[in-house]
């Protein structure tokens, strides 16, 4: 296995393949070998489609470049439909499900030349931030096999962090791309609502979920996002969302002189890990050294779980009732628990949450009349223990910090509710060698290109050490 190839960026691989300096077959063989090692150590894949991936690489080897990702391996979270390739949604009810068509985002990645080699693990229907499900077991963090990858795009996070492909598709309904990206030391983006069409949701008008990129570099995240973005008739939020220059923006730093960046240490929480806080404070100094004007935002902000919960749990109670009826205890106990909670909400509770969602949007949008971007931590602490009780307290600095959603990642789901673009970047390592939990940048609606440029600037200046997880 070529270590040079497995740690190369998607941008570099695409260029070298285009120049015929390396064969797509060589790249795919190295990727599949690394995927096999990762699977044995971390259990990151539900399906590895090696034979067809090699066949596709051989075909790409003979063809002229068909797009900016020609010959580049990509793995796809198993919530996204892939034509003729098993898509289980992490559920025993769909263990033999083979879609006849790709979802829009996957079809566009293929059109850009990317080659799907695997489907990555997800908790059943992506319902929690710990990646485990009855159909495959548990996914472990490649940096520390006693820790979780986070979720729900945990398999994608483990794959990219460990060198099993340079990019992966994630989804984000409350932080599900950004949480594992932060826990695994990656770039993960939730773009503005509608930038990437979501054609799989049965109810699109109250959309909270996004399909987005996971990568090791900002440039690769931008390359991937540009391939997936653009209007599609299946998603009304995407109509008119024809953003140009995404990939270019992700590769070109932004001049931060005079740029106003609001920052918040807390976002409806009260505890943050000491090493996570130190990393965040160091990151702010980097931004200031580049000429940014830092403005602390300490106006009151309530934890958004009481808004996100009624909307999300009631959706699950409706959407997956037929699955629960079909497989009963074969469904994840945690999903059944939160579906029951969803059924217990009344219509007025859900309507009140919808109205509060609008107020939340207006509150956050008002921040951008005073600042250009917002910076927060992504997680309140590094990756949690793999045996974390989903209903138990998160322990931070030896104190109970609340539950998973309100205590560990209060920073992510506000922006699923409001539609603002948000991206997490690696921001350092703890004394034990774990990623510190990421820094998150948030921008006003449809500022995706400038947000990527800001991220590229930070990435270049921060010079985070290039460490690689050692699989055992």
Q: What is the pLDDT of residue 312?
A: 98
State the CATH number of the domain containing residue 428.
3.90.1300.10
**Phi, psi angles (nearest 5°) of residue 258:** 85, -5
- Structure confidence at residue 457 (pLDDT): 98
> From first to last of its 472 residues, what are the pLDDT tens digits of the chain?
679 999 999 999 999 999 999 999 999 999 999 999 999 999 999 999 999 999 999 999 999 998 999 999 999 999 999 999 999 999 999 999 999 999 999 999 999 999 999 999 999 999 999 999 999 999 999 999 999 999 999 999 999 999 999 999 999 999 999 999 999 999 999 999 999 999 999 999 999 999 999 999 999 999 999 999 999 999 999 999 999 999 999 999 999 999 999 999 999 999 999 999 999 999 999 999 999 999 999 999 999 999 999 999 999 999 999 999 999 999 999 999 999 999 999 999 999 999 999 999 999 999 999 999 999 999 999 999 999 999 999 999 999 999 999 999 999 999 999 999 999 999 999 999 999 999 999 999 999 999 999 999 999 999 998 899 998 7
Alpha helices (H) along 63-111: 104-111
Token output for 137: 């077991």
pLDDT of residue 98: 98
472 in a structural domain: no
Residue 467 lies in a domain: no
- Establish if 164 belongs to a structural domain: yes
pLDDT at 2: 79
User: Is 200 within a domain?
Assistant: yes
**In-domain check, residue 24:** yes
**What separation in angstroms does the CA of 441 have from each of 62, 137, 283, 412?**
41, 33, 11, 11
3-state secondary structure of 313: helix
Tokens of residue 169, six digits: 């598709």
DSSP 148-190: E--SSSHHHHHHHHTTS-SEEEEEESSSTTHHHHHHHT-EEEE
**204 assigned to some structural domain:** yes
Domain carrying residue 73: 3-462
In a domain, 470, yes or no: no
Domain count, the chain: 1
Q: Which tokens sit at 282?
A: 């160091």
Catalytic residue list: 77, 152, 176
In a domain, 468, yes or no: no
């Amino acid at each position: 296995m070529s270590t040079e190839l497995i740690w190369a960026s998607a941008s570099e691989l695409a260029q070298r393949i285009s120049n015929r300096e390396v064969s797509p077959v060589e790249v795919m063989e190295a990727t599949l070998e690394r995927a096999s090692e990762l699977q044995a150590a971390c259990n990151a894949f539900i399906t590895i489609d090696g034979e067809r991936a090699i066949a596709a690489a051989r075909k790409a080897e003979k063809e002229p470049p068909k797009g900016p990702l020609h010959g580049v391996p990509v793995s796809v979270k198993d919530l996204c439909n892939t034509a003729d390739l098993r898509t289980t949604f992490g559920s025993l009810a769909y263990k033999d499900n083979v879609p006849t068509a790709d979802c829009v985002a996957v079809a566009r990645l293929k059109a850009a030349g990317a080659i799907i080699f695997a489907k990555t693990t997800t908790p059943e229907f992506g319902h929690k931030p710990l990646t485990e499900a009855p159909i495959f077991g548990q996914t472990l963090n490649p940096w520390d096999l006693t820790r979780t990858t986070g979720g729900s795009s945990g398999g994608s996070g483990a794959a990219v962090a460990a060198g099993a492909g340079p990019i992966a598709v994630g989804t984000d309904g409350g932080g599900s791309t950004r949480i594992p990206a932060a826990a695994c030391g990656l770039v993960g983006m939730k773009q503005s609502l509608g930038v990437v069409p979501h054609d799989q949701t049965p109810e699109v008008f109250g959309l909270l979920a996004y399909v987005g990129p996971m990568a090791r570099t900002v440039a690769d995240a931008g390359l991937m996002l540009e391939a997936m973005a653009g209007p599609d008739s299946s998603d009304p939020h995407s109509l008119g969302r024809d953003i140009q220059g995404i990939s270019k923006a992700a590769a070109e730093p932004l001049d931060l002189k005079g740029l106003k960046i609001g920052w918040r240490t807390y976002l409806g929480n009260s505890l943050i890990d000491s090493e996570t806080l130190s990393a965040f404070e160091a990151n702010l100094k980097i931004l200031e050294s580049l000429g940014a004007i830092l403005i602390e935002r300490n106006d009151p902000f309530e934890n958004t779980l009481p808004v996100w919960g009624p909307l999300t749990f009631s959706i699950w109670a409706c959407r997956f009732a037929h699955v629960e009826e079909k497989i009963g205890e074969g469904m994840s106990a945690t999903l059944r628990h939160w579906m029951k909670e969803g059924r217990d909400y009344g219509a007025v509770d859900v309507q009140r949450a919808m109205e509060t969602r609008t107020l939340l949007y207006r509150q956050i949008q008002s921040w951008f009349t005073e600042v250009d971007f917002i910076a927060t931590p992504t997680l309140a602490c590094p990756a949690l223990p793999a045996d974390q009780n989903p209903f138990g307290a998160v322990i931070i600095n030896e104190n109970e910090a609340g539950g998973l959603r309100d205590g560990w990642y209060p920073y992510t789901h506000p922006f699923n509710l409001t539609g603002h673009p948000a991206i997490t970047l690696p921001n350092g390592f703890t004394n034990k060698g774990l990623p510190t939990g990421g820094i998150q940048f948030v921008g006003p609606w449809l500022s995706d290109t400038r947000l990527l440029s800001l991220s590229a600037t930070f990435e270049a200046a921060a010079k985070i050490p290039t460490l690689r997880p050692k699989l055992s």
